[in-house]
Structure 1
Amino acid sequence: MTDKILIERHGPVTTLRLNDPETMNAITADMANGLHDAIKSEVAEGARALILAGSERAFSTGANLKAAIPGDLGSFDAGETLERDYNPLMLTIRDLEVPLISAVRGAAAGVGASLALACDLIVAGRDAYFLEAFARIGLVPDGGATWLLTRAVGRVRAMEMMLLAEKIDATKAHEWGLVTRLADKDAEAEALELASRLAQGPTRAYGLIRRAAWAAADQDFEATLVTERLLQKQAGNGPDFAEGLDAFLRKRSPNFHK
């Protein structure tokens, strides 16, 4: 495990923190793999909600190019590290069985923006901004950015972000639907409040909701109805539904458990 991924536990909530202040949390292959392993291990250990955070100055400024680019570009395959290091991380985020919240302060650029925007809830501080900087150095957005952006803000705004490579401040990001909430004071405190609330909820149902939502982004309406039917059967056979229904009928607060 790299020392540039910090694990902070708050009861059933775990915060995974990108921690390389000298580079404003620019991500290396080791960090991507460390984050991948930490996500899996924390869920296996019983975390019921996760927060992905950076530091005050930056969530992440994207890939650490100094660490990734060799001196000789002649045989360099810029897509190799995506296949080996970053794409498995993004797929693990997609397939999570617990809610994931990003707390964004300062810069969220490049693949750092992809990480932030792949989360279920995105809490941005007023000083946050998003930047698809790839075109500035002649590369293509990665980390699923082309998929995430076009589905969040539509093709036209996504193209503006990717082609012009201009900063999108937190207010505009919220107006466009890139982020869930603007935090007036502390983005991490608000993210922790939301995560703590979700950690008390029906974890199994949350995982199935995530699966349905990710599938719906690429399915037609009829296929979505089929997916919902299959997942509803799984949810209905689980203990959370039994507890939720009993609580509803008895007019009490549910006590969900994993």
Structure 2
Amino acid sequence: MAETTAAEGPTILLEVREAVAWLTLNRPERLNSFTTRMHEELRAALDRVEAGRAEGTIRVLVITGAGRGFCAGQDLSDRAVAPGAQAPDLGESIEKNYKPLVLRLRRLELPVIAAVNGVAAGAGANLALACDLVFAARSASFIESFAKLGLIPDTGGTWVLPRLVGLARAMGLSLLGEKLSAEEAERWGLIWKCVEDEALLPTVREVAERLAQGPTFGYAMTKKALLVSGTNDLATQLDLERDLMSACGRSEDYREGVQAFLEKRQPRFRGR
């Protein structure tokens, strides 16, 4: 199937409610698999999220999929190779699209939640794992499907999988390409929580809105510290904790949190 045309509507939907940006991958007829156009629209949507974060109107990002799937990875028909034709440079696609996407999500100074509503395969699975919190419907599944095409896990898969589940399980997932249920993914520590299908969006909404009302400056500093902890030695990490704690101590959120505690009231955080 050819890439969706502009007349068929946007491939990315973005809605902001209660300071939460809901970003929906919107190619349900193709299980929300990625095309060049979809990457372009995703970059534009993330520009809006970053602008909203700077203005204080967006404090949490949720990523989910339309229809019955989260994301089936790359749409192979978008870069199909005809017999005898020159092979595409898949590394170029990584450099232009998937690498900057993962780094951008990791560097966003707000919590990023994946609401995995169905199958998450290939780059789609690793897109979900690039988020800070991953909730999955019980019927959802994760598949590192790259080996079936003679490829390696991309979109950060070779980095995140061993850190989340250990080398033995990362090898099994990557070489065998077997489906991992959401329930098993939770048991393995691959994701944060598996919930009943009908509870997925209400659960994510409650968590996202709670985070949006919280000290998001501190959340951003926590995210920064945890994401580099795997490559820092202890002394370097302690120095980073010192520096980030100094920044937190100068924030409006910290002053408000202390004042609210002393006054025995709910804090009104502003994310500054």
- Place the TM-score, normalised by the shorter chain, in its bin: over 0.9
Is this contact kept in 1: 2:22–2:62, CA < 8 A? yes
**How is 1:3-14 mapped onto 2 (pairs within 5 angstroms)?**
3-14=10-21
**Residue 34 (structure 1) shift:** 2.0
Aligned residues: 258
Letter in 1 for 2:232: Q
The residue that corresponds to 1:139 in the other structure is 151
The residue that corresponds to 2:214 in the other structure is 201
Of residues 229, 248, 252, the one that matches 2:261 is: 248
Give the SS at the match of 1:157. helix
User: Following the alignment from structure 1 to structure 2, what is the Cα–Cα distance between the partners of residues 230 and 177?
Assistant: 29
User: Following the alignment from structure 1 to structure 2, what is the Cα–Cα distance between the partners of residues 177 and 33?
Assistant: 32
Letter in 2 for 1:120: D
Is 1:65 the counterpart of 2:71 in the alignment? no
Of residues 193, 213, 219, the one that matches 2:232 is: 219
User: Following the alignment from structure 2 to structure 1, what is the Cα–Cα distance between the partners of residues 220 and 270?
Assistant: 13
User: Following the alignment from structure 1 to structure 2, what is the Cα–Cα distance between the partners of residues 51 and 143?
Assistant: 18
Is this contact kept in 1: 2:119–2:142, CA < 8 A? yes
Is this contact kept in 2: 1:43–1:98, CA < 8 A? no
Of residues 78, 90, 93, the one that matches 2:90 is: 78
Any runs of at least 4 consecutive aligned residues in structure 1 with deviations exceeding 2 A, and if so which? 68-76
Letter in 2 for 1:9: V
Say which is worse superposed, 97-106 or 63-72, in terms of deviation: 63-72
The residue that corresponds to 1:192 in the other structure is 205
The residue that corresponds to 1:101 in the other structure is 113
Letter in 1 for 2:37: D
Identical pairs, percent: 41
Give the SS at the match of 1:115. helix
Give the SS at the match of 1:8. strand
Is this contact kept in 2: 1:141–1:162, CA < 8 A? yes
The residue that corresponds to 1:53 in the other structure is 64
**Residue 75 (structure 1) shift:** 4.3
Of residues 28, 33, 43, the one that matches 2:35 is: 28
User: Following the alignment from structure 1 to structure 2, what is the Cα–Cα distance between the partners of residues 155 and 73?
Assistant: 37
Give per-residue Cα distances to partners, 1:146-196, cap 9 Å, x unaligned: 111111111111110000100000111010011111112331221111100
Letter in 1 for 2:186: H
Q: Where in structure 1 are there 5+ consecutive unaligned residues? A: none
Q: Where in structure 2 are there 5+ consecutive unaligned residues? A: 1-5
The residue that corresponds to 2:3 in the other structure is none
TM-score (norm 2): 0.91
